[in-house]
Amino acid sequence: MSATAQRPSSRGRGAPAAAHGNFIAGEWKPAASGRTFENRNPADRDDLVGTFADSGPEDVERAVAAAREAFPRWRALPAPKRGEILFRAAEILVRRKEDFARDMTREMGKVLAETRGDVQEAIDMTYYMAGEGRRQFGQTTPSELQSKFQMSVRMPVGIAGLITPWNFPMAIPSWKMMPGLILGNTVVIKPATDTPLSVVNLIHALEEAGIPKGVVNMVTGGGSEVGAPLMGHKDVGIVSFTGSTGVGRKVSEACAPAFKHCHLEMGGKNIIMVMDDAQLDLAVDGAIWGGFGTSGQRCTAASRVAVHKKVYREFVDRFVERARALKVGDGLDESVQMGPCISEAQRRTVEGYVKVGRDEGARLLCGGHRLESGELGRGWFHEPTIFGDCDPRMRVAVEEIFGPVVSVIPVGSLEEAVTVGNNVEYGLSASIYTQDINKAFTAMRDMYTGIFYVNAPTIGAETHLPFGGTKNTGNGHREACVQALDVFSEWKSIYIDYSGTLQRAQIDTWE
């Protein structure tokens, strides 16, 4: 079966709700306290997806101890052999893609097409990093001295503490876990409490693939009870976090006293720039997918669209018409185009920003309300919402909302669009729609973002290019591609002098 193949699955609303423990030292164990928490379907709060261990610091301590014990043997295992385990895990993910996608839709809400893509990202990343088991290239360079050889090699950091979000509940854990593992690190992961099942499924695949005991550990529970003890643990050598900028700042502060590696991927307020020569139908397609894919709950969501005044009215008319026509509902229904917000709290945040936009004078073009009629009343649904005639300084135009709300901003030139695009605290992703190659390259050069698209929306990263952003989006590191290896490794430079004499670099010379 190919990596994109789909097969029928019985998993769906009303499927049996299993109890899941922590995964520590190769065993599934309840929380030390015995407490559990529920995971419910955001499209139907009556649908119990499963129960999970409500853990605390003592569970983190056990997981870190297991990772510490497993580290020497895992590090000593040749990297190609580590890669073979990851390759087998990728094959298992391929076979179970449809089951895992349906589980993800139940616990997270996004539509099946998107959850299949989420699992596919995990497949792609696992295959990619399996290949790094036979690469992890260093450098060899000529020495300035006679009879001397020099090279650089990577070393694992040690124990990696991973704290992952709910919007890409298998893809993002794989972005962190697979590069960490292929380098010889051991792992303790804390998944988001809204979406722990997808990480459970990922670990089952690794377990079946033969990952040794203690190499991968999972502890479920809240941020203060699990996340804080994990990132502050003295034996954790690196913390990799994806989430809000506010929490990311706390992670950075927790890591700073021990100078431990800290990798942060945080917020975004991404812009699509539509020029007067753009193919408008294509631009509208991109704005719909960028703004309302995953119900706008992406760090790369296109929550701003700057449109040239010459085509502003025509673009807005088409954009609003398409947004009103979107089918909102349970993502397990193949005909649904947008699912719910992840929780009632997130929906209230969206509603709060709708009020802010109205109060600021933005023109509400469509949406703006929760959806509660019929079966939608059992979930956390909100209408696709568009504000028009926005001033680029409005809060709805500069703050991350993380919901199905898009602000449309009229601009008079490419230069103005770029200025608007850069005038936020984030720098993750941006795009331009134009048929003018000069405009495309100018925007490509001048937008200060980590990702840039031409004639495509601001979402849709692939695993073989680095992912991340500038300013308050991150702290300079990148995920995916070979750049992810830099996050989870240390460089060692090695010099081998076989001259049989003392040679002093920069002092002695050979003639």
Q: Are residues 482 and 351 in the same domain?
A: no
Q: Are residues 230 and 346 in the same domain?
A: no
Average pLDDT over residues 101-106: 98
Q: Are residues 109 and 190 in the same domain?
A: yes
What whole-number distance in Å separates Cα of residue 163 and Cα of residue 296?
Answer: 21
**pTM of the predicted model as reported, rounded to 2 decimal places:** 0.95
- pLDDT, position 420: 98
What whole-number distance in Å separates Cα of residue 369 and Cα of residue 278?
Answer: 31
In a domain? residue 11: no
Residue 237 has pLDDT above 50, yes or no: yes
User: pLDDT tens for residues 72-92?
Assistant: 999 999 999 999 999 999 999
Q: Are residues 245 and 311 in the same domain?
A: no
Q: Are residues 321 and 258 in the same domain?
A: no
Q: Of the residues 255, 262, 299, 366, which is catalytic?
A: 299
User: pLDDT tens for residues 202-236?
Assistant: 999 999 999 999 999 999 999 999 999 999 999 99
CA angle at 115 for the pair 111 and 116, rounded to the nearest 5°: 115
Residue 2 has pLDDT above 70, yes or no: no
**For residue 416, what is the domain's CATH number?**
3.40.309.10
- Say if CB 245 and CB 230 are below 8 A apart: no
The mean pLDDT of the chain is: 96
Question: Does the active-site annotation cover 265?
Answer: yes
In a domain? residue 132: yes
**For residue 210, what is the domain's CATH number?**
3.40.605.10
Q: Of the residues 98, 265, 383, 400, which is catalytic?
A: 265
- pLDDT, position 4: 33
Average pLDDT over residues 466-487: 96
For residue 509, what pLDDT band results from cuts at 50, 70 and 90? confident
Residue 7 has pLDDT above 60, yes or no: no
Q: Are residues 256 and 287 in the same domain?
A: no
User: Domain tally for the chain?
Assistant: 2
Q: Are residues 189 and 250 in the same domain?
A: yes
In a domain? residue 210: yes
Q: Are residues 421 and 484 in the same domain?
A: no
Average pLDDT over residues 112-138: 98
- Residue closest to 487 by CA, chosen among 267, 212, 175, 211: 175
For residue 41, what pLDDT band results from cuts at 50, 70 and 90? very high
Bridging pattern class, strands 405-411 and 426-427:
unpaired
- Say if CB 212 and CB 230 are below 8 A apart: no
User: Which of 454, 484, 504 finishes a domain?
Assistant: 454
Q: Are residues 126 and 165 in the same domain?
A: yes
Average pLDDT over residues 30-58: 97
User: pLDDT tens for residues 401-450?
Assistant: 999 999 999 999 999 999 999 999 999 999 999 999 999 999 999 999 99
Q: Are residues 209 and 297 in the same domain?
A: no
In a domain? residue 141: yes
Average pLDDT over residues 478-506: 96
- pLDDT, position 207: 98
In a domain? residue 366: yes
Q: Are residues 159 and 276 in the same domain?
A: no
- Residue closest to 406 by CA, chosen among 336, 458, 335: 458
Average pLDDT over residues 152-163: 98
Question: Does the active-site annotation cover 299?
Answer: yes
In a domain? residue 31: no
In a domain? residue 232: yes
Q: Are residues 282 and 259 in the same domain?
A: no
Q: Domain of 482?
A: 47-266+474-492
Residue 13 has pLDDT above 80, yes or no: no
Q: Is the torsion defined by CA of 494, 499, 500, 506 positive or negative?
A: negative
- pLDDT, position 3: 35
Phi-psi category of residue 402: left, alpha or beta, with phi > 0 → left and psi -120 to 50 → alpha = left
In a domain? residue 501: no
